[in-house]
Structures are given as C-alpha cells and as structure tokens.
Structure 1
Amino acid sequence: MTPTEHAAVTVHDPTLRDGQHAVRHQLDRGQIQAYAAAADAAGVPVVEIGHGNGLGASSHQVGHGRLSDAEMLATARQVLTSSRMAVMMLPGWGTSADLRQAVHHGVDVVRVGAHATEATVTERHLGVIRELGAEAQGVLLMSHMASPAQLAEQCALMADYGAQAVCLFDSAGHYLPEDVTNRITAITAAVDIPVGFHGHNNLGMAVANSVAAVAAGARIIDACARGFGAGAGNTQLEVLVAVLERYGHSTGIDLRLLADAADLAEQTLMPAPPTIDSTSLASGLAGVFSGFKKPVLNAAAQEGVHPWDVFVELGRRRVTAGQEDMILDAVRSLAAQGERR
C-alpha cells in the first residue's frame, strides 16, 4: 500500500464538526475560535465547522448543539483568513435555506452526504451549492456497505449532478487497507474529479487506510486533531501529515504549528483523546456507525444487556447513520430474548 506517486494531498480538517459527536455538540465560541485560528496558522487547507451531523441537524434525535449553525460559522469565519471554511449537509436535516445561510456566512466548501447507495438524494442540493458559488462535494456514508462497483456508480452520479469532488466515509471504522484500495481504485477510474477518504479508527487502521487511499489515487484526506471524533475517533491529523511527509507527499501544512494546534485541541476541546475501547471495537467489527456509541451504552445499561451484543444486532440489521431510533428497538429485542432464555 506504499504510495508510488508523490502527489500533493489536500487535507480536510473536520475537528470542529466531527469532533462535536464526542462532546454532544457542545463546543462553545471560544473553543471554536481558538482551534480554528490555530489550524489556520498551521496552513490547514480546509477547516470544517458545525454540528456533528451537519447543517440543520441540531435536534432532540441526534442532540441539540450549544450554538446555532450561524453562530458557529460566524465565529470561525473571523479567524479563518487563509484556510477555506467547509460544512457538511445531510438531506433530511439540512435544507436549501440552510445552504444559502451557510454561504452567506462565508462557507467555501459544502459537502452533501448520502448513504452509500443513495446518491440520488444529493442531486438538488449539489445544484444549489453550485448556483451559490461554493465548491460542491458529494459524500457517501457507511461506504463499507456497498461494493467498489456500486460506489463507483454512485460517485459518477454525483459528478453528473455537479459535484466537484467525491469522498468515501468509513463511518464505522470497518475497513482494512485493501478494502480502501479496491474502492478508491474503482472510483478514480469512474470519475474525473478529485476523490477523498474519511477514516475512523475503530480497528486502529485510520492512518494506514488513509495512506492506502492516497496510494490508490485519492487526493483529499480527512483527519482530526488527536483523532477527535465519534467513538474511537477519526484519522489523527498530525500523525497523518507526518506520515504523508515521510512518503514525500506535499500538504502545504506547517507540521510544527499543526502539532501545536493538536496540543491545543487536546487541552481545550476534549475530555480526553479518543481511544479504542471494547465498545468502539465492537462497532468497527459490526460495521455500525461510530456515532452510535453513547446511545448504545445508555440504552444497553437501561435494559441490562451487553453493548457488544447490541452492536452485533445493529450490524445484523444493517442499521445506518440517522437510524438512532433503531437502537432502543434492538436493545429491547435482546432484553426479551434474554428473558426467554
């Protein structure tokens, strides 16, 4: 999986969006502004801001954010003088009105996400983003649930809809490097736009998977400071950049200043850096969205069932991100089976 071409790689930093999952979307203005300023000073090309589930997602179902979308974007925009500002949007939570508000607040890049086999839901929103003058990117979530050929087909659809880049999310941290290689290779053969990869670390493979993605032709890689993110966390930003530099890939990032930004993130954003505990491991093996960790732990404790069994059951049901309501149903089903036994 060693990269053979020393191509430039654009690093996309969703610390202030994906990291929100780990703190129940409660980052405040001071935290957002300080880290955004540190990332900007380090030369991080793209910094993503927002609720963990993206524009318009603050809700009882997935958690109310401390700040509104507008407050978060305005706060970050003040200090992002060099880095481009990005947001995530999932149709069903975010709307065209949210997109217009985001671009009004200075967003440069908008990612529209869909389940791995449902790219058609991105068509209208990708068109709106292009009309607004921002860069439109298409994202496939839970991508391990589709074959390389299916993912290539879905990415080609998003390119036809106007996506200027496409990105695979390993939302459950389920991939091994060869899984990434096969999928990125298929996608780069199917589209003429940049391809990206977003890893989670449930099996401890996030950096290795990201390097495999670059070797297969990906030119956009996501990573978070100290891996700050849901469950076992994301690809660790400062480690990724160091590894890419060792392989000879240019990122344009000052690694010394990036290390300082990572130290700041650990000190001010998170109770502790993410770790691969037994629950995160079960999530990765079962192929279940990493953001389900805390809801699963809570529901399992209430009903007296083992969280490992809950993740196995959710994986069997092929539950996807956004189906949090299925957690309690799975827990109750397991509890009932236990009573019958």
Structure 2
Amino acid sequence: MNSNSDLTLLDVTLRDGGYVNGHSWTTREAEAIVRTVGASGVPYVEVGYFREVHEPQRPSASCPPAYLAALAAVTDPPRLAVMVRPGEVPVARIAELTGHGVAMVRVLVSGGSVGKAAPYADAARTAGLAVAMNLTRVSERTDDEIVAAVRACADAGAQLVYLADSNGSLDPETVTEQVGAAVAASPVPIGFHPHDNLGLAFINAKAAMAAGATAVDASIAGIGKGGGNLRLEVIVAHLIVRHGAGLRLDPIAADQTTLAARLRMLADGSTKAVLTGLLDLNLDGAAEFYDMVAANGYDATILTMSDQ
C-alpha cells in the first residue's frame, strides 16, 4: 500500500451528499462542513457542482460566487474543489474560479469519452487550477477501455484521474484489476471514488490504495448518492491507526450538521441501493427498475433483471 503521505483525501459531503437532501445545504451549513473537514486535516473539500444556472436555495448545486466566497473565507479551510459536468457551464467561465478561492476543478468524463471534457481541463490548467478528471461508471468498462480513457485524460491535461464506482457494484478483486491497469498505463496519479451499495466502500478503497491509487473520495457518515460513499470517519481512523497519519477524528465525530441527511438516508432504506449495486445499474437511469419494484416487488424484479 502507498504510505499515507502519498494519499490525498477529498471530502465529497456537500456535492455527493447533496443528492440526499436535494442540494439544499444552506451556506451556513456548508461553512460548518468545510470547517469540520479542515479541522480534521483532510486537504480537499468538494463544495458542489459549478453550473451556469443558480438557484438561491440550492447553492451547492451551482456554486454561485457568494457561496464560494463564503466558503473560501472560512478560517484555515481545506482547499476547495468544484465538479464540472461538460455542457452545464460555458468553458470561458472556468477562469472565474481562481477569483473565488477554488483550487481544483474536477471534470466528469461520462462513457469514457474525453472529447467534451478536454476543453474544461485545458481552461482550468490555463487558469492555474489543479485539474482532476473523473471517469464515471467504471464497472461498465473493460480494462482496455479504462486504460484508453485514462491516457486520453492525461493527454487532455488532467493531473489526476479518478475511477468512479458510480453504480456501487465493484468488488475488491475488480478494483485491484482496474486500478492496477490504470496505474500501470497512466503518466499521472490515479484516484478512486467508491460507493457503498454493497457495503464494500472501505475494503474497495483499501484495494485501490494497495493497487497504487493515491487519492480517495469520502464523505461524512458516508452520505451520498445511491448506497452512499466511503465514510470519511472510517478512512481517517484507518489512516491514523494503521499508518500514523496526521489527521484528526474528533471534528468529524462531533459533526451535527449532516444529521438530517444521515436520517434521510436511513429512512430511505438500502434495499434498492443493494440491488442496483448487484445488478450494476446506473442510478441516473434506474427509473425502469424502480417502476418494476413498485409494480412487482423485489423478487420478481431481480429475476427479470437478471435474465436480461
């Protein structure tokens, strides 16, 4: 495994956790989360999507200037990151981020196609921002497809490429294989974004690190899309206990800001998340699955989907 000094943790509570509460974090709540992440020693916090259209009641959904300024003004904050989905904001606006305290832009790469993402990566590099590119739904890709996409991301200017288990369906063996192939082929560092549909986020993160990944995403209490994310407190505690990392667990353990989102995840239950993970279904396109469950129940749905 890489030494802890080589591992970069990035908190995704505000952005990925926003799927739990409809991105309804208030700016004050976001400030509290940024303070918690900073106090724990985690170096990066992703504060939301950067989009053209702003909704005042949902600042983490679009990262308006006042929201970014408030988070950048937090005392001793971690470095701020934003997520960009190609097409949702003009490329020319990426340059604005340098004036709002943002240090990193993470560009989504859907379907392994880097073409639409490349201009955003180039704009971020030109603006002096760190550039990461996130390959989504890697469970749906072959190793060769992942290797080709990773190389294309590096050619486009990415300084870090994440493999995202968007469907929450990977197991440690597959993570080892995919991350190992990416690390062997990539001229830039590889990161891993786990989801916890099958309760494997932590062991998958360990497998990714053992295979050479040097960056990992996590969120407070694991709040996030689908089955949730790797729990930040678990990976922080692991790095402290097993690797002597200079991180702190107390600030995360004392967090109350995310309590409502945690309760919402509990109320929503995990059965659907487990099944979408097992069936390798993308939650963005799982409407048919949810309709089938509502009409026929889980058992009939499992049999039907397994036969497809």
Specify if TM > 0.5.
yes
Distance 2:302 2:114 in 1: 26
User: How far 1:15 moved relative to its partner?
Assistant: 0.4
Identity level (%):
29
Pairing 1:159-308 to 2, within 5 Å after superposition:
159-248=154-243, 250=245, 252-260=246-254, 263-267=255-259, 269-273=261-265, 277-290=270-283, 304-306=295-297
User: How far 1:271 moved relative to its partner?
Assistant: 3.3
Distance 2:37 2:303 in 1: 38
Distance 1:219 1:13 in 2: 15
Partner of 1:69: 63
Matched, 1:30 2:25: no
Partner of 2:8: 10
Contact 1:296 1:310 in 2 (8 A): no
Cα 1:187–1:170, aligned 2, differ >3 Å: closer, same or farther?
same
Deviations 1:99-154 (A, max 9, x none): 23333312100000112421232211110000111001111001111112211111
Contact 1:225 1:236 in 2 (8 A): yes
Cα 1:164–1:75, aligned 2, differ >3 Å: closer, same or farther?
same
Unpaired runs of 5+ residues, structure 1, are 318-341
Matched, 1:142 2:164: no
Q: Give the aligned CA root-mean-square deviation in angstroms.
A: 3.0
1:139 alignment partner, SS class: strand
Unpaired runs of 5+ residues, structure 2, are none
Contact 1:9 1:221 in 2 (8 A): yes
Query: What residue identity is the alignment partner of 1:147?
Result: T
Partner of 2:102: 107
Contact 1:57 1:94 in 2 (8 A): yes
Aligned length: 304
Cα 1:116–1:132, aligned 2, differ >3 Å: closer, same or farther?
same
Distance 1:283 1:237 in 2: 23
Distance 2:155 2:181 in 1: 17
TM, length-normalised to structure 1: 0.79
Distance 2:221 2:14 in 1: 12
Deviations 1:165-224 (A, max 9, x none): 100110010000011111111111111222100000000000100011000011100000
User: How far 1:253 moved relative to its partner?
Assistant: 2.0
2:16 alignment partner, SS class: helix
Contact 2:20 2:265 in 1 (8 A): no
Query: What residue identity is the alignment partner of 1:56?
Result: R
Which of 80, 91, 94 is residue 96 of structure 1 equivalent to? 91
Contact 1:198 1:221 in 2 (8 A): yes
Contact 1:226 1:237 in 2 (8 A): yes
Distance 1:16 1:222 in 2: 12
Cα 1:55–1:143, aligned 2, differ >3 Å: closer, same or farther?
same
- 10-19 or 79-88: bigger deviation: 79-88
User: How far 1:245 moved relative to its partner?
Assistant: 3.0
Contact 2:176 2:208 in 1 (8 A): yes
